[in-house]
Amino acid sequence: MSGTNLAMIHASPAAIAPLVNYYARAEPGWTILNLLDDGIMRQFRAGDEAAVEAGLLSLIDRAVTRYHAEAALVTCSATTLDMMRRLELASPVAVVKIDLPMAQAAVAAGRRIGALVTFPPTVGPTTALLEEVARRAGRGVSVMAELRAPALDALLAGDAATHDAILREGAIALRDAGAEAIVLAQVSMAHMRAALEEELGVPVFSSLETSHQALCEALRQ
């Protein structure tokens, strides 16, 4: 799939660097298009789902019509499954929700799942996503969400060390509460995955590798 044009649809600037760095290594032949509207974050916080959906669809349409994108990755985990279904129906190209494949992997790994979250509007959709994926798989799960919003504030202010320290504490709290698997709800914490898994002794999932596999499958179809 060399020469693939992939559009990444962002609501937060914090998602851009980890994804660009990952795909530069994983798919050096792909052209990555980053389309950002951080006003969507404010609309998420305000609960204006119609505006959020319209904003995301506008970015997807621009990526396809202006930049000839062949697929789109929606990188905001606060998008609900229902919203994603509508975006998929309205989009002329394949659209992947970044954390759906991660949720599927986590549900297969354990019944007590911890979700480490830095963006408050993500708590509900991430919990609902894990529960819905488990329901479809015929598995019962218990989801524990650990919200550490100051970590995202620190990251957006350029303080990555504080971001990582806050999230390490949150991950330890989830493990100590009985989590058998942990998902990192924001891609901005994906760089911590391997170190946390080694330290905590439970599976830790980020949306980088799992969404990459899903995109490859979508492009083949």
Q: Where in the chain is the domain with CATH 3.40.50.1860?
A: 5-98+209-220, 100-207
- Cα 46 from chain centre: 20
In tens, the pLDDT along 16-46 reads 999 999 999 999 999 999 999 999 989 998 9
Tell me whether strands 142-147 and 181-184 are parallel, antiparallel or unpaired.
Answer: unpaired
- Residue 122 one-letter amino acid: T
In tens, the pLDDT along 74-85 reads 999 889 889 999
Q: What is this structure's pTM?
A: 0.84
pLDDT for the residue numbered 128: 92
Q: Does 3.40.50.1860 match the CATH number of domain 100-207?
A: yes
Angle at 184 between CA 32 and CA 112, to 5 degrees: 140
User: Which CATH number does the domain 5-98+209-220 belong to among 1.20.140.10, 3.40.50.1860, 3.40.50.2300, 3.40.47.10?
Assistant: 3.40.50.1860
